[in-house]
């Protein structure tokens, strides 16, 4: 059986008993949602809020909305239940820009072809938003007696840091999250492997961003008479020292378990190293090859910095008095930020270069030793005949870090299954998800949520 047929078989094997209406309904909603332009910048997430308002009103569910700035809309609705810690279903409305000329389809038109749905936001995170919505509506439609409150939340601005969305709501509408103990959000993912096993990752940890700006100063002058040093040459030398002196490898407990669980489904050449990553990182050649071939995996093994923005003179024959660079640094969740910054200073080794902090998040990690994680594991294993559930770490960040700061257990759970070798192209060209996997994801999301919150 080929992978596509296997995937379709798995979808229908799950059954449709818990959806009391046609699966075309969530698909139609997804198509409509994808074609609402919420590209950030500028966001215009209020357009998405209006979409959800209509659906919630038709269902007879009360909701609230708030704009953090003109057009930057957020919406939330609550189903009241018992006294157990509440569950939040969170996704973000905004999507990243897309360049039409590099797509095979219009990124703001939902196109179904070859069993895939193409549009900007299919994976990040409008499909997840519809899965959450369908689970929320299912509870209401079927009058499920709840052991806890369930809160549907759709926010602005995640793609730019969440400060007009989740972060703003926490600061300005803190009552929404009183009594909340658990949150499901983006992250993780699922793959149908060559051996017909589903490999499903649940995100429990993230590297935290520590964005820095380096500003070098020196004597300006005419480009025709170079000096021994300049702001630009100082900056280049410092950046080269950072690049040539990476931080030492460091394995967190989450990454150790993640790699060990992924190892059996890795290509044979990677299995020994992934099974014993603590030993593998002692080999510099392994680290070099891993970074070249699997940069995301390599980035989970150490603190990193990417040089992303450079600024210098605005005129070719002028030696500028100032040059700057911005670094996208990411540090592992158990690492001390002050110690990391000292390491950057040591590498710069130039007192005419100042370091400015742009952004730093606190550590973002949730334990797997919870009722929700245990239930998710049980439900997933009941639904699939062969599944490998992997608690995973991310090199990037999501809005979950805001809630982990509040002590809310947060998991990245996206059950859309991709055939092995097929990518979602999140943030890239031709972003897409498998159509049947979306239907299956709706079903599994309903089942997980229902079983966790039903009285």
Residue 1, pLDDT score: 43
- Whether residues 254 and 309 share a domain: the answer is yes
pLDDT of residue 363: 87
* DSSP state letter for 102: G
Q: Are residues 235 and 141 in the same domain?
A: no
Contact (Cβ atoms closer than 8 angstroms) between residue 121 and residue 319 = no
Residues 401, 406, 407, 410: what is their CA dihedral angle, to the nearest 10 degrees? -40
Alpha-carbon dihedral sign for residues 375, 379, 385, 389? negative
Q: 401: Cβ–Cβ under 8 A, 6 or more apart, which residues?
A: 206, 208, 361, 362, 364
Helix (H) or strand (E) run with residue 213 in it:
strand 208-217
Given 333, 360, 387, the domain boundary residue is 360
Same domain, 182 and 236: no
Cβ pair 276, 266 in contact under 8 A: no
β-pair partners for 95: 39
Residue 200 lies in a domain: no
Are 30 and 117 in contact by the 8 Å Cβ rule? The answer is yes
- Do 106 and 67 fall within a single domain? yes
Closest CA to 216 of 228, 240, 229, 234: 234
Q: Is 327 in contact with 212 (CB distance < 8 Å)?
A: yes
Q: Answer whether residue 366 is part of any domain.
A: no
134 and 259: one domain?
no
* Number of structural domains found in the chain: 2
CA distance 171 to 168: 5
Q: How far apart are CA 271 and CA 252, in angstroms?
A: 19
For 445, residues 6+ apart whose C-beta sits below 8 A from its C-beta are 131, 132, 134, 135, 413, 415
26 by Cβ neighbours in 10 Å (0-12 / 13-18 / 19+) ranks as: buried
Among 305, 340, 360, the domain boundary falls at 360
Cα(380)–Cα(257) distance, integer angstroms:
19
| Residues 91, 234 within the same domain | no
DSSP state of 454: B
Kindly report the CATH number assigned to the domain that includes residue 350: 3.30.70.360
Q: Exposed (0-12), middle (13-18) or buried (19+): which is 102, by Cβ within 10 Å?
A: exposed
- From 336, 360, 384, give the residue that closes a domain: 360
Same domain, residue pair 182 and 217: no
E strands, 141-197, where?
148-155, 180-185, 189-192
> Which letter does DSSP use for residue 263 in this model?
G
**Residue 304 sits in the same domain as residue 170:** no
| Domain of 59, in residue numbers | 3-187+398-453
455: tokens are 């009285």
pLDDT number for residue 364 = 81
153 and 232: one domain? no
Residue 193 belongs to some domain of the structure: no
pLDDT for 9:
41
Cβ of 413: how many Cβ atoms within 10 Å?
A: 27
Identify whether residues 148 and 261 lie together within a single domain. Answer: no
117 and 231 fall within a common domain: no
- Residues 333/252, Cβ–Cβ less than 8 Å: yes
- Whether residue 389 is contained in a domain is answered as no
383 belongs to a structural domain: no
Based on the fold, state whether residues 30 and 91 are members of the same structural domain.
yes
The mean pLDDT values, 10 residues at a time, for the chain of 455 residues are 44 41 84 98 98 98 98 98 98 98 98 97 98 98 98 98 97 98 97 95 97 98 97 98 97 98 96 98 98 97 98 97 98 96 98 97 93 98 96 96 97 96 95 96 98 98
Spell out the residues 6+ positions from residue 324 whose beta carbon is closer than 8 angstroms to its own. Answer: 213, 214, 215, 216, 235, 309, 310, 311, 312
pLDDT of amino acid 22: 62
CA dist 420 → 117, 172, 198 (Å):
17, 43, 10
10, two tokens = 């798995």
Please report whether residue 406 resides in a domain: yes
Quick check: is 386 in a domain? no
CATH number at residue 27: 3.40.630.10
Q: Which of 144, 116, 115 is nearest to 34 (CA)?
A: 116
Residue 129 lies in a domain: yes
> Are residues 231 and 337 in contact, defined by beta-carbon separation less than 8 angstroms?
no
Beta bridge pairs of residue 148: 84
């Amino acid at each position: 059986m080929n992978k596509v047929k296997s995937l379709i078989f798995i979808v229908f094997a799950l059954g449709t008993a818990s959806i009391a209406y046609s699966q075309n309904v969530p698909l139609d909603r997804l198509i409509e949602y994808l074609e609402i332009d919420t590209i950030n910048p500028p966001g215009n997430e209020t357009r998405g809020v209006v979409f959800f308002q209509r659906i919630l009103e038709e269902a007879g569910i009360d909701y609230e909305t708030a704009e953090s700035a003109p057009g930057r809309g957020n919406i939330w609705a609550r189903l009241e239940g018992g006294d157990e810690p509440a569950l939040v279903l969170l996704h973000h409305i905004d999507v990243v820009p897309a360049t039409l000329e590099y797509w095979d389809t219009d990124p703001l038109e939902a196109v179904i072809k070859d069993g895939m749905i193409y549009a900007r936001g299919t994976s990040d995170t409008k499909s997840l938003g519809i899965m959450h919505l369908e689970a929320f509506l299912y509870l209401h439609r079927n009058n499920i007696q709840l052991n806890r409150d369930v809160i549907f939340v759709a926010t602005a601005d995640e793609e730019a840091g969440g400060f007009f969305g989740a972060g703003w709501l926490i600061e300005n509408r803190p009552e929404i999250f009183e009594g909340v103990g658990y949150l499901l959000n983006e992250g993780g993912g699922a793959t149908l492997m060559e051996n017909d096993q589903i490999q499903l990752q649940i995100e429990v940890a993230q590297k935290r961003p520590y964005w820095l700006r380096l500003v070098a100063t020196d004597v300006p002058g005419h480009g025709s008479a170079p000096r021994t040093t300049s702001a630009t040459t100082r900056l280049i030398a410092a950046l080269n020292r950072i690049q040539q002196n990476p931080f030492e490898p460091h394995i967190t407990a989450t990454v150790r378990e993640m790699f060990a669980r992924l190892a059996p489904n890795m290509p044979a050449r990677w299995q020994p190293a992934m099974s014993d990553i603590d030993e593998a990182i002692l080999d510099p050649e392994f680290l070099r090859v891993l970074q070249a071939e699997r940069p995301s995996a390599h980035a989970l093994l150490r603190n990193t910095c990417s040089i992303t923005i450079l600024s210098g003179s605005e005129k070719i024959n002028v030696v500028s008095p100032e040059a700057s660079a911005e670094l996208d640094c990411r540090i592992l969740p158990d690492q001390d930020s002050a110690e990391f910054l000292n390491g950057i200073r040591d590498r710069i080794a130039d007192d005419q270069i100042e370091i400015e902090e742009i952004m730093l998040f606190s550590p973002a990690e949730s334990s797997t030793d919870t009722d929700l994680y245990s239930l998710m594991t049980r439900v997933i294993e009941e639904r699939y005949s062969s599944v490998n559930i992997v608690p995973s770490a991310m090199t990037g960040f999501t809005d979950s870090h805001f809630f982990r700061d509040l002590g809310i257990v947060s998991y990245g759970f996206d059950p859309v299954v991709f055939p092995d070798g097929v990518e979602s192209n999140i943030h890239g060209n031709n972003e897409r998800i498998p159509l049947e996997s979306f239907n299956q994801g709706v079903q599994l999301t309903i089942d997980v949520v229902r079983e966790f919150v039903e009285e």
